């Protein structure tokens, strides 16, 4: 009788510990999933900031750069296309196109010494170049947290919890364009040339 009682106690204690462990792992996974969702939203916040800044910049440089109407037009078009994109793949493609037209605009702006001296253009350029960095860092943070989330789902024995409650691995953000991968950093700040 005492033997059966002892076995039962061990079983009950074991079951309680198992339940506590399962709850703990489940809560960790939920918290990570929310952080991943938040990380994704952060990228959107910065992209929105970029879309808001571009019309201001174009308006500020329009007077000086009247012979570059074609480029300015393309920037605005790319901006509008990116702002109205639907879906992740669509948005990624259009944002990349916008980055390229912006890069062209910044390169052309180098030819206008008056723009480099203009305080409001300089500060808009600084804000936009900071926004480009923020987008990059927001993507980097998203990839870090998504990697942690995926790892937490795959390691043993946590993978049982992940499978039982149908946690899905998320995709990491990747650069689609091979050319962009080759050029890891674009300096958009207008430094006075020495």
Partner 1 sequence: MPRNLYDQQKRNIANTRMFIAGFVCLLAVMGLSTDGVLYAGGFSPGLPVATLGALCLGGLSAWWSLTGGDRAILESTNAAPLDRTDPSQRVLDNVVEEMAIAAGLPKPAVYVIPDADPNAFATGVGPERATIAVTRGLLEKLDRDELQGVVSHELSHVKNYDVRLMTVVAALAGAILLLSDWSRRGLRWGRRSSSEKSGGLGILFVGLWIISMLLAPIIAQIVSLAVSREREYLADASGAELTRNPLGLASALEKIAAAIAPTPSIKRGVAHLCIEDPRGRAVNEREGLFANLFATHPPVEKRIAALREMAYQPAASRP
Q: Per CB under 8 A, does 28 bind partner 1?
A: no
Q: How many CB atoms sit inside 10 A of residue 101's CB? A: 20
Residue closer to partner 1 (CB basis): 138 or 162: 138
For residue 51, the minimal CB distance to partner 1 (Å) is: 17
Binding-residue pattern over the window 153 to 192 for partner 1, x denoting contact by CB under 8 A: ------------------------------------x---
How many residues are there in the chain? Answer: 194
Residue closer to partner 1 (CB basis): 46 or 150: 46
Q: Per CB under 8 A, does 138 bind partner 1?
A: yes
Residue closer to partner 1 (CB basis): 20 or 148: 148
Residue closer to partner 1 (CB basis): 35 or 80: 35
Q: How many residues bind partner 1 (CB under 8 A)?
A: 18
Q: Which of 152, 191, 190 is nearest to 170 (CA)?
A: 152
Residue closer to partner 1 (CB basis): 86 or 191: 191
Q: Per CB under 8 A, does 36 bind partner 1?
A: no
Distance in angstroms between the alpha carbons of the first and the last residue of the chain: 92
For residue 35, the minimal CB distance to partner 1 (Å) is: 8
Residue closer to partner 1 (CB basis): 74 or 139: 139
Q: Per CB under 8 A, does 126 bind partner 1?
A: yes
Task: Tell me how far the alpha carbon of residue 132 is from its chain's centroid.
Answer: 11
Q: Per CB under 8 A, does 57 bind partner 1?
A: no
**Residues 138, 144, 149, 150, Cα dihedral to 10°:** 120
Measured CA to CA in angstroms, residue 115 lies from 20, 57, 65, 118, 190 at distances of 64, 11, 9, 5, 9
Cα–Cα distance, 50 to 30 (Å, whole number)? 31
Tell me the H-state helices in the chain.
2-62, 69-83, 88-109, 113-117, 119-154, 158-164, 178-182
Stretch that binds partner 1, among 59-67, 69-77, 121-129, 154-162 (CB under 8 A): 121-129
């Amino acid at each position: 009788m005492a033997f059966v009682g002892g076995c039962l106690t061990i079983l009950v204690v074991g079951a309680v510990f198992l339940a506590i462990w399962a709850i703990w792992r489940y809560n960790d996974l939920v918290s990570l999933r929310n952080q991943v969702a938040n990380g994704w939203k952060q990228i959107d916040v910065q992209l929105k900031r970029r879309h808001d800044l571009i019309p201001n910049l174009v308006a500020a440089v329009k007077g000086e750069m009247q012979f570059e109407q074609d480029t300015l037009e393309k920037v605005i078009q790319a901006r509008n296309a990116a702002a109205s994109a639907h879906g992740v793949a669509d948005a990624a493609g259009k944002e990349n196109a916008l980055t390229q037209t912006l890069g062209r605009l910044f390169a052309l702006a180098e030819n206008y010494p008056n723009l480099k001296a203009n305080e409001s253009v300089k500060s808009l350029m600084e804000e936009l170049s900071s926004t480009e960095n923020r987008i990059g860092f927001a993507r980097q943070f998203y990839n870090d947290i998504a990697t942690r989330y995926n790892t937490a789902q795959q390691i043993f024995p946590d993978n049982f919890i992940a499978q039982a409650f149908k946690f899905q691995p998320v995709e990491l953000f990747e650069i689609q364009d091979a050319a962009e991968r080759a050029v890891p950093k674009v300096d958009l700040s207008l430094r006075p040339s020495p």
